Amino acid sequence: MEQFVVSALKYRPLSFSSVVGQSNIGVTLKNAIQRGHLSHAYLFCGPRGVGKTTCARIFAKTINCLNLNENVEACGQCESCRSFAEGRSYNIHELDAASNNSVEDIRLLTDKVRVPPQVGKYSVYIIDEVHMLSAAAFNAFLKTLEEPPAYAVFILATTEKHKIIPTILSRCQIYDFNRISIENIVLHLKDIAKKEDITFEDDAVNLIARKADGAMRDALSIFDRIVSFCGNSITYSAVIEDLNILDYDNYFKLTDAFLRHDYKECFIIFDVILKKGFDIQHFVSGLSLHFRDLLVSKDSQTVSLLEVGQGIAERYKQQSAKCSLEFLHEAMNIISKCETEYKSSWNPRWLVELALLNLSCTGQEKKNDTTESKSVENTVTKPVTVKKGEQQIPEIPKAISLKDMRLDNNKQETKTETVIETPVNKDFTVDDIVSEWKAYAEGIKQKSPRLSSRLLAYTPELIDNNTITYPVLGDVEKEEYYKNMMDAHSADLIEHLRTKINSSIKIKWIIKKPETETNNEKTPYTVQDKINYIISKNANIGDLIKDLELDYR
């Protein structure tokens, strides 16, 4: 049996032109080779699986090739190219900084740099994952990197550029590699599938490309896994099953339920998704992306931003025609808020179900308001003509809003049904004040129980014909309750007393010492005061606190 070679190695690019999605870097490096403008140090940085190490190897092979072709590509036939292909080249040295990150490893590298190349012009040193070098190793590498021999070229590769010290960055030409687009990954996977005599569905290949998240190496690994699962025929359903991916169909069904305002079906679909073992946050992210794809599908100028297969793209176009721009805008705000609050939520499922309920109600009230406003507009915008002498003069209709009509209706109902009470100026006694005071306090017991009990704690007093006094036990209590009364209930209390008793009544808050203070005893307020008061009444309690080492704070 022939030994299996993974696609990432079997179809690894051997020239700049075959590197997928990095044409700008290939052109720049080839121009530098052609003009002889080679730097002594390069830094290739970017996400995983986008071709950093591959380009470093191609560049090393090309600058040592003895017979470059007219496209500035390595010939593949000379001794240097053959030794590179067979893995026996002494001109190209690779170092994995993840496992060789000490000062001693850098010293060994420095010793190698002193040896000139035997075949070709340059000794190339490729250091992968260079950000893994220790601080001491970086410092040991600085001198060699700054002033290497003329034949030495360093190519550093990293996925985390920010971890490299600035003194290293300043000595390198920096090339930023891009994430590979879904379109380029799809084309490359289709080309490999044809070479391997594998049939495929376009939507299936597109789904593999989206799952790779811009990394060609990941895409090829997923491709090999799918081929192992379903053989020489890659189908959309097989990819969904093997990768355990949420099908687009779930999101299309949910959106149809949102448009019908059917929250019950939304809950059922969500429950089925959870029972299949999908992560809630993954579901929310997918729904957010679904709304985005619906939005870009609404216009021919933005439909090119849709990164799905042809069959799925048609479904997006059909469903986007049913969705208004206002609905999509509000839906994206709701799901974005859900994503933001997800990590801090104590009940993620409840949070998502609330978002689904809000999405189901989106646009329902606005639709009713729009219908009502249209009917009002039809009834009030017709021009009216009046006679003046012998001429017919059109009268410009006055613009009437729905709000104005509602206010007019309320005014008419108020005139016919509401009875306006006139101010009361009858004589009253202290008993009348106390009775109505208690009636008001009982009335707010449900809404503000603490304030109600406070108003019932003492009896108001009448100091002149229209001024009521009410005691508080100190400045702190006065500030607390007086502010509470002024903010929420003061106006209501005064209005109640003026309506029931007399329209000239006023309330005055006074500080009144409690009876205990008249005997030179201070009222206990703090915890310490209360403990001291209890101990003064019974000394045994103080002894008990000390013996048991109780902490009453």
The domains located in the chain, with CATH, are 7-176 (3.40.50.300), 182-243 (1.10.8.60), 248-362 (1.20.272.10), 430-512 (3.30.300)
At how many degrees (to 10) do helices 310-322 and 202-212 cross? 80
Write out pLDDT tens, residues 82-111: 888 888 888 888 888 888 888 888 888 888
Which contiguous run of DSSP H or E holds residue 511?
strand 506-511
The whole-number pLDDT of residue 486 equals: 53
- Which residues on neighbouring strands pair with residue 126, listed in sequence order? 94, 155
Cα separation, 134 vs 130, whole angstroms:
9
Q: Is the whole-model pTM more than 0.95?
A: no
Query: Which residues does 119 contact at the CB level (< 8 Å), separation at least 6?
Result: 64, 79, 80, 83, 89, 90, 91
Task: Give the CA radius of gyration of the chain.
Answer: 41
pLDDT value at 196 more than 80: yes
Alpha helix segments (H runs only) across 485-538: 490-500, 515-518, 527-537
Whole-angstrom CA distances from 406 to 358, 383, 399 are 28, 22, 14
Which among 304, 490, 504, 327 has a CA at the least distance from the CA of 424? Answer: 504
Q: What is the separation, in whole angstroms, between the first and last Cα of the chain?
A: 80
Contact 51, 179 (CB under 8 A): no
CA angle, residues 11, 17, 23, in degrees to nearest 5: 110
| Closest listed residue to residue 444, CA positions, set 434, 456, 431, 462 | 456
Beta-bridge partners for 199: 233
- Average pLDDT of 262-279? 90
- d(C-alpha 16, C-alpha 27), whole Å: 8
Q: What are phi and psi of 535, to 5 degrees?
A: -65, -35
What confidence tens digit (pLDDT) does each residue in 327-343 have? 999 999 999 999 888 88
Please, which residues bridge with residue 152 across strands?
A: 123
Query: For position 391, what pLDDT does the model report?
Result: 47
Per-residue pLDDT, 421: 46
- Are 488 and 448 in contact, with CB atoms under 8 Å apart? yes
- The pair of three-digit structure tokens given for residue 450, joined into one six-digit string: 């603490």
Name the DSSP class of 43: E
Going 290 to 296 to 300 to 305, the CA torsion angle's sign is negative
Judge contact between 234 and 226, C-beta under 8 A.
Answer: yes
pLDDT of 51 above 80:
yes
Over residues 72-88, the pLDDT tens digits come to: 888 888 888 888 888 88
